[in-house]
Amino acid sequence: MLSGRGLQRGYSYDAVGGHTELPVRGIRATQSMSTLTTSYVEARSTLYAELPFVAAAGMGGKTRALVRNLSTRYPDDTEFAPRTGSMLRLSSRTSFATTEATAVELELSHDYVTWAMLAAAGVAAISQFLCGFNTSVMNAPEKQVFPGHATAEWSLAVAAFAVGGPVGALAAGSVANHQGRKPALVVDGLLFLGGGLVTSLAPSMSALAVGRFVVGVASGFSSVLVPLYLGELAPPVLRGAFGTMTQFALVLGILASDLLAFWPHLRWRVLFAVSPILAALQLVGAGFFLFESPRWLLDKNVASTQARDALAALYGLIDPEEVEMEVDHIAGANVKCKLRGERSTACDPQTHKAWADLFQNDAVRPVLLSCVIIHLAQQLCGINAVFYYSTLFFDGVIDNPLLGTALVAAVNVAATWLAIILMDRCGRKTLLACSSAGMLACVVAITFSLLGVLPDLASLAAVMAYVSFFEIGLGPIPWLIVAEMFELRHVDAAQSIASQVNWLANFVVGLTFPYLVAFLGPWCFLPFGLVLALTLTFVSYSLPETRGASVAEIQAAMTSHPTHYPLPAYKTTPT
């Protein structure tokens, strides 16, 4: 039995949507909350329990389906009064501006954002910005940094970033679970600060490589930690919007590094010093604006007053009963996660069993293999060859290689916005196929341009199109479909394996591309074209559609090996 203020009635769902005997705290209506009926409270509680606590772009479809389902399960007997306090009322991409929408549906598809929540999210997102910044910061200044360095020295310094990435990704979960989300973000800021200082003050290429490794650790750390922190900070229907923020922070970091490199007379040490400067500002901001995750606090102690204070500030709540309602929802979701055997925020029940099951279960193993293939394709398609070495690639092709690099980064930002729209409307399989086919066509155009068959400017246009096609499919979807293809108890282990494979392939591309240019010349993109052709074949004939499909349907499709998978409609019952 959970205890605490606001406890009135027990109600929850088990993993398949049935009732359980374990009570989850509800809310007692008061004078100030008389407009919130049990229909809305129970619907919102289910929304908390069914949606993952992670900020990820592309969650709009699943959220919309769940909101529609909840609005039909609960009677439309609710009228809603606006909350009081300093808040902005934002609509997620799940809102329904139709006359047919019920009151419960309309209310669930909106939520409130406070300036405190935006400030905390902004401070956390600096880590993702720095991750993008350091992905591309080595692109432009190669000729300025220790002139006369060997190709091996430079490629090793570039690729050291990808060596540190998996180390940080592995460490992030442990630090965040045991020390808390806020201390983990401080650790991440310190890593960016230390690594940035080493790179900007490096006396040699070896020291530069060490600094890049530390910055890579920080980047891998942030890739796990920031989506987790923002997902636990945001109300359920806004987690997709906060996921969009992290994605944009990353691509804006890439763009910023390319624009600063374009600045006349900017020395490379000053360019590299941007990382420690922003990291120092983030650490200062952490002291003023970051809150500990209410979910993590409640998982440690359901009676935590710190969690209630954080919820009141983050959600702009002035009524204690409203605070208790949010506490009830989060605590109930934590209990449900433990009942389903998911990895908890404070402890890891059945984690080892989940890892073993990925390799031993005949229904799960093919799904894991598919995820690994898609993550390999994401990196081996050569996208980071562009972000790491586009200035080298454009040298001699266009008059100003820095201009080409900046244009590619700007197109990358625009394509990210388009991808967010498309992911909410199109099937994952369709987007992956279009992405692979489009990038393959761009590789052909790039090669023809380098061979002199097409004019030089065609290579610039082809590279921009190449990046655009990547962002609508192979860029975001590999991270999203892992959560869609596995039961929640397997997601953490599957994401960890996929992340390690992804960083390893990233390292291979970063280390080898200068040698591909040296040995293959105008044919340097040919290996990437081969990977894309194989990816297109795999997606077309072996990968099932995951959008709207249940985990059981996906696993059944993978084991039966059909040659075509129709796009399923969204379920009318939550999975």
Give the C-alpha distances (Å, rounded to integers) separating 420 from 130, 141, 225, 263: 21, 32, 21, 31
Region of poorest pLDDT, from 445-459, 463-477, 559-573: 559-573
Per-residue pLDDT band for 527 (boundaries 50, 70, 90) equals very high
* Secondary structure (DSSP) of 426-457: S-HHHHHHHHHHHHHHHHHHHHHHHTTSS-HH
Q: What is the pLDDT of residue 566?
A: 43
Measured CA to CA, the distance from residue 108 to residue 66 in angstroms comes to: 10
Contact in structure between 358 and 366 (CB atoms under 8 Å): no
The 3-state secondary structure of 525-562 reads: CHHHHHHHHHHHHHHHHCCCCCCCCCHHHHHHHHHHCC
Measured CA to CA, the distance from residue 390 to residue 139 in angstroms comes to: 7
pLDDT, one tens digit per residue, over 89-142 is 443 333 333 445 555 555 555 566 788 999 999 999 999 999 999 998 988 788
Residue 512's contacts (CB-CB under 8 Å, 6 or more residues apart) are 155
Per-residue pLDDT band for 71 (boundaries 50, 70, 90) equals low
Collapse the DSSP code of 309 into the 3-class scheme (helix H, G, I; strand E, B; otherwise coil) and give the result: helix
Whether the pLDDT of residue 511 is over 90: the answer is no
Measured CA to CA, the distance from residue 222 to residue 192 in angstroms comes to: 10
Whether the pLDDT of residue 10 is over 50: the answer is no
- Average pLDDT over all residues of the chain: 77
Collapse the DSSP code of 170 into the 3-class scheme (helix H, G, I; strand E, B; otherwise coil) and give the result: helix
Per-residue pLDDT band for 206 (boundaries 50, 70, 90) equals very high
Collapse the DSSP code of 182 into the 3-class scheme (helix H, G, I; strand E, B; otherwise coil) and give the result: helix
- How many CB atoms sit inside 10 A of residue 40's CB? 22
Whether the pLDDT of residue 316 is over 90: the answer is no
Q: What is the pLDDT of residue 12?
A: 29
The amino acid that residue 263 corresponds to is W
Specify the higher pLDDT residue, 243 or 533: 533
Q: What is the pLDDT of residue 528?
A: 94
Contact in structure between 335 and 349 (CB atoms under 8 Å): no
Mean pLDDT computed over 177-184: 91
Measured CA to CA, the distance from residue 543 to residue 303 in angstroms comes to: 46
Whether the pLDDT of residue 346 is over 50: the answer is no
pLDDT, one tens digit per residue, over 253-274 is 999 998 888 775 678 899 999 9
Whether the pLDDT of residue 569 is over 90: the answer is no
Region of poorest pLDDT, from 37-41, 274-278, 365-369, 559-563: 559-563
Residue 548's contacts (CB-CB under 8 Å, 6 or more residues apart) are 61, 65, 567, 568, 569, 570, 571
Q: What is the pLDDT of residue 102?
A: 56
Measured CA to CA, the distance from residue 13 to residue 3 in angstroms comes to: 18
Residue 371's contacts (CB-CB under 8 Å, 6 or more residues apart) are 478, 481, 482, 485, 494, 497, 498
Specify the higher pLDDT residue, 318 or 14: 318
Measured CA to CA, the distance from residue 125 to residue 326 in angstroms comes to: 24
Contact in structure between 13 and 20 (CB atoms under 8 Å): yes
Contact in structure between 114 and 316 (CB atoms under 8 Å): yes
Specify the higher pLDDT residue, 230 or 9: 230
Per the listing, tokens 């890892």 go with 355
Specify the higher pLDDT residue, 412 or 354: 412
Q: What is the pLDDT of residue 200?
A: 94
Per-residue pLDDT band for 364 (boundaries 50, 70, 90) equals confident
Whether the pLDDT of residue 201 is over 50: the answer is yes
Per the listing, tokens 């900007």 go with 200
Structure tokens at 438: 């489009």
Handedness of CA 348, 58, 292, 316 (dihedral sign): negative
Give the C-alpha distances (Å, rounded to integers) separating 336 from 48, 330, 342: 10, 10, 9
In the chain, the percentage of residues whose pLDDT exceeds 70 is 76
Measured CA to CA, the distance from residue 1 to residue 18 in angstroms comes to: 19
Whether the pLDDT of residue 86 is over 80: the answer is no
Mean pLDDT computed over 205-229: 93
